[in-house]
Amino acid sequence: MLRRLSLALSVGIVALAPGLAAQNRKAAAPNPILRQYQAVAARIIAAATADSAAWNKLAELTDGFGNRLSGSEALEHAIDWILARMKAEGLDNPHTEPAMVPHWVRGHEKAELLEPRYVELPMLGLGGSVATPRGGIEAPVLVVSSFDELKAHAADARGKIVLFDVPFTGYGQTVAYRGVGAIEAAKAGAVAALIRAVGPFGMRTPHTGSMAPYDSTVRKIAAAAITMEDAAMLHRMQARGQRIVVRLEMEAQTLPDAPSRNVMAEITGREKPDEVVVFGGHIDSWDVGTGAMDDGGGMVIAWEAVRLLKKLGLAPRRTIRAVGWTNEENGGRGGLAYREAHRGELAKHVAAIESDGGTFKFRGFGFSGGDSAYTVVKQVAKLLTPLGADTVFAGGGGADIGPIMGEGVPGMSHNTDGSRYFWFDHTEADNVDKIDPRELAENVAAMAVMAYVLAELPERLPRGGKPVGGRER
């Protein structure tokens, strides 16, 4: 998952404009943090980028356990492995904290084009979908390009499978069809909903992902993504006046909530152990690929940052806590459980940083909080100039830290190049080979520097002031 990408990208483009860059230089204020921490930052960056430790750890995790959907054994085994490894690494206070998570299982599923010619359509049921009736559904297809077009042809949708063939223009715009396509199709009397996989490029690659909860006033119909190639082909067939018939079979079901855990470890603060910089990613994934980019890599970045600081003997003033949240993808229960378990400590949480925007070339941080803290964080980020990205965009956060941001904790997102993120997101192709070891190491460096300095600064990051980044998470 990733909610901040389109902003990060558009801001990134602005940041590249020469006029603004010049303006930036002119506006440069004195930065005491830069002078104070430049040497230690350089040391952290050098150590983080000296080897491929982060990539190798992520490869062990993803090769060893595969994908990790909430409720699966693989997820719990992965959490056990992380915990054991955190202990072996000598990190402080390695432990898990319980969370009950939704348990959706895909089961057998298949989509076939029957007319005008037989084609097996690669597909992925959408997370949260119900099953088709036993034996599947065989029905003519109505292809539409938008909700508006569906409304305009609502009379034609009754008894049909509605296919939303919506080319990718941006995640926010397109994912709406994954969210409520089944609801809108059902309102028009459709028997199932298909969407074009949400992504700008594919190689006959369906993408899964969460649907919005069904509307209790409308019939629950099964929903799945087919590939962009096949969605476009069906659309062309319809334009040629051909009758299109698809057979869809899905055995998806939602089981009772299952037990899972957040997993975490720390460097306990040497002076103020109860003040905490918390950062991490989510350890759960969809049930395809191996969840390397989304978001095993995000979790490993924070975990490796803590291991690295420990190895370097850098014990900061405050506690740094690396967390692997559970159930980001289809429930967000890990983030909620963290808030409940730590409710009493949140007033002293310095900042929360989430990496769930891919693990490509580092592009800076995003920030939501008060403007005084924003000023400080921007100064800290200047330590990252050697990594080629020392900007803090206004607006940051993440699904897992959203609940504690709601309690006033300043929230940050760790941003990376998003140009291929949605090629791989929620697909069989989200594997460690898509991640460059050097880029992953640089992400560790950026996270380690940011967390260390926020934990080490003489004064805790201030709260209050004029809000920056709104309530964006």
Q: Which is nearer to its own copies, 71 or 199 (CB)?
A: 199
- We find the least distance from the C-beta atom of residue 255 to its own copies, in angstroms, to be 21
The single-letter DSSP state of residue 127 is: B
- We find the least distance from the C-beta atom of residue 289 to its own copies, in angstroms, to be 7
Residues 265-324 that bind its own copies (CB under 8 A): 289
The residue range among 325-333, 364-372, 399-407, 424-432 that interacts with its own copies, by the rule CB under 8 A, is 424-432
* DSSP string of 32-56, one letter each residue: HHHHHHHHHHHHHHHHHTSS-HHHH
Q: How far is CA 123 from CA 111, 405, 413, 442, in A?
A: 7, 36, 32, 35
Sheet holding 192-196, edge to edge: 119-121, 109-115, 245-250, 137-144, 161-164, 192-196, 222-226, 123-125
Q: Which is nearer to its own copies, 60 or 138 (CB)?
A: 60
**Tokens at residue 47, please?**
């150590």
CA Rg value for the chain: 23
240: exposed, middle or buried (Cβ count in 10 Å: 0-12, 13-18, 19+): exposed
The residue range among 158-166, 170-178, 429-437, 452-460 that interacts with its own copies, by the rule CB under 8 A, is 429-437
**Site for its own copies (CB under 8 A): which residue of 71, 122, 128, 316?**
122
The residue range among 31-39, 56-64, 141-149, 366-374 that interacts with its own copies, by the rule CB under 8 A, is 56-64
- Does 117 bind its own copies (CB under 8 A)? Our answer is yes
Residue showing tokens 């980020």: 381
- Does 424 bind its own copies (CB under 8 A)? Our answer is yes
Q: Residues 184, 266, 328, 439: which is the catalytic one?
A: 328
Give the closest residue to 137 by CA, choosing from 191, 183, 97.
191
**Site for its own copies (CB under 8 A): which residue of 217, 240, 256, 313?**
240
Q: Which is nearer to its own copies, 270 or 438 (CB)?
A: 438
Q: Which is nearer to its own copies, 78 or 373 (CB)?
A: 78
Asked if 143 contacts 235 with a C-beta cutoff of 8 angstroms, the reply is yes
- We find the least distance from the C-beta atom of residue 85 to its own copies, in angstroms, to be 14
Coil vs helix vs strand at 351:
strand
Reported in sequence order, the residue ranges of 22-160 that DSSP labels E, i.e. its strands, are 92-105, 109-115, 119-121, 123-125, 137-144
- We find the least distance from the C-beta atom of residue 49 to its own copies, in angstroms, to be 21
- We find the least distance from the C-beta atom of residue 445 to its own copies, in angstroms, to be 24
Q: Is 456 assigned a catalytic role?
A: no
CA 151, distance to chain mean position in Å, is 32
The residue range among 2-10, 84-92, 336-344, 421-429 that interacts with its own copies, by the rule CB under 8 A, is 421-429
CA 341, distance to chain mean position in Å, is 22
Q: Is the peptide bond before 116 cis (omega within 30 degrees of 0)?
A: yes
Q: Which is nearer to its own copies, 142 or 157 (CB)?
A: 142
- We find the least distance from the C-beta atom of residue 8 to its own copies, in angstroms, to be 23
The single-letter DSSP state of residue 388 is: T
What is the helix (H) or strand (E) element at residue 324, kind and residue range? strand 318-325
- We find the least distance from the C-beta atom of residue 66 to its own copies, in angstroms, to be 6
Asked if 366 contacts 4 with a C-beta cutoff of 8 angstroms, the reply is yes
Binding mask 199-228 for its own copies (x = CB under 8 A): ---xxxx----------------------x
- Does 141 bind its own copies (CB under 8 A)? Our answer is no
Query: Rounded distance, CA 400 to CA 249, Å?
Result: 33
Binding mask 69-108 for its own copies (x = CB under 8 A): ----------------------------------------
Asked if 326 contacts 260 with a C-beta cutoff of 8 angstroms, the reply is yes
The residue range among 20-28, 231-239, 340-348, 394-402 that interacts with its own copies, by the rule CB under 8 A, is 231-239
* Residues belonging to the active site: 328
Given the rule CB under 8 A, which residues bind its own copies? 59-60, 63-66, 116-117, 119, 122, 202-205, 228-229, 232-233, 236-237, 240, 289, 423-424, 427-429, 431, 433
